[in-house]
Structure 1
């Protein structure tokens, strides 16, 4: 395979990775409205980048052996998880600061990263069916999602300081809206 063929494959994969990363950016913007420290922002970005490597890799592997019917299931699971996460954030914004239920640490971070990366699993299924280059695909997906998540989280931190206590409710609303968008495609 020549250089032009490789470039011809990398450019569309990079565009796809940026599109999936923009989803992580938007969701990071919502989650960034929690009162996060820079260390948490760093770990969240790394974790989401990691999941954006693992999930499309699993999707590519499964996509080579299984039909495309699983992409719809992944979308519904992602939408449902975003609805729950967003609703919990909105509810916790009305509680005292010590009672916050959704936190991007531990299991909450795993759920958040899994939710954000489910769409890359679906894309991985499709790419696996079409025989895309696995290493290039997962590296691009991981890189763009990590960097764009950091950008969303940092911007969300700034917006949160402007919005005060209503920032978490707004962030939860953003996650809830993305969940609805996944469940009710318009």
Structure 2
């Protein structure tokens, strides 16, 4: 898996955090850089830590499932991507962040960061099977998520919910395509 594919994976994974960041921006009366940096840091750090945890777990079992690891990567990325697409098409425009949850305290941000990064744990498992260099991968995912989350806060503050569904839909499609590419590459089709 090359760096461009890892970057696209980071973009796909960051779409949940991006959507929540848009909601954070919606609840702000005025935009402040600090108010964008806090969600960016929480989401970026957790999006980097979860693939690392998944990688460490996957490395423990790699030798037992090496013969079909490409199928596992394909299924995991496909399921995550399909779920993101389903959520985007569901028709519910409400933000996952209620006004009372719009504060930026640890007790509010940490659970949101964990919830938006669970998918990254599964991706980390696939990284172990694909022998991805984990340090550059998690740095790229973390920085990508940090950047997109900060941008999401600003977009939410300025434009509202207009981009939330499109971002989730794009993230799901990206993850499915990367999973398909991994499978086809391993099968020798591409």
Judge same fold: TM > 0.5, yes or no.
Answer: yes
Paired with 1:180 and 1:144, the residues of 2 have a C-alpha distance of: 19
Give 1:6's aligned residue.
none
Give 2:173's aligned residue.
177
Give 1:150's aligned residue.
146
Matched, 1:45 2:41: no
Q: For residues 95 and 148 of structure 1, do their structure 2 counterparts lie closer, same or farther at Cα, with a shift above 3 Å needed?
A: closer
Within the candidate set 125, 134, 140, 1:138 is matched to: 134
Give 2:27's aligned residue.
none
Q: For residues 71 and 184 of structure 1, do their structure 2 counterparts lie closer, same or farther at Cα, with a shift above 3 Å needed?
A: closer
Q: For residues 86 and 160 of structure 1, do their structure 2 counterparts lie closer, same or farther at Cα, with a shift above 3 Å needed?
A: farther
Displacement of 1:46 in angstroms is 0.9
Paired with 1:119 and 1:76, the residues of 2 have a C-alpha distance of: 11
SS in 2 for 1:35: helix
The answer on whether the counterparts of 1:35 and 1:160 sit within 8 Å (CA) in structure 2 is yes
SS in 1 for 2:65: coil
Paired with 2:3 and 2:117, the residues of 1 have a C-alpha distance of: 16
Alignment of 1:49-64 (within 5 A): 49-64=48-63
Count of residues in correspondence between the two structures: 160
Give 2:82's aligned residue.
83
TM (norm. structure 2) is 0.62
Q: For residues 79 and 110 of structure 1, do their structure 2 counterparts lie closer, same or farther at Cα, with a shift above 3 Å needed?
A: farther
Matched, 1:28 2:14: yes
The answer on whether the counterparts of 2:23 and 2:161 sit within 8 Å (CA) in structure 1 is no
Q: What is the root-mean-square deviation in Å for CA atoms of aligned residues?
A: 3.6
**Can you give the 5+ residue segments of structure 2 that lack an aligned partner in the other structure?**
25-34, 100-108, 185-190
**Can you give the 5+ residue segments of structure 1 that lack an aligned partner in the other structure?**
1-14
The answer on whether the counterparts of 1:44 and 1:109 sit within 8 Å (CA) in structure 2 is yes
Paired with 2:130 and 2:85, the residues of 1 have a C-alpha distance of: 28
TM (norm. structure 1) is 0.64
Which stretch shifts more, 141-150 or 57-66? 57-66
Within the candidate set 114, 117, 120, 1:113 is matched to: 117
The answer on whether the counterparts of 2:39 and 2:150 sit within 8 Å (CA) in structure 1 is no
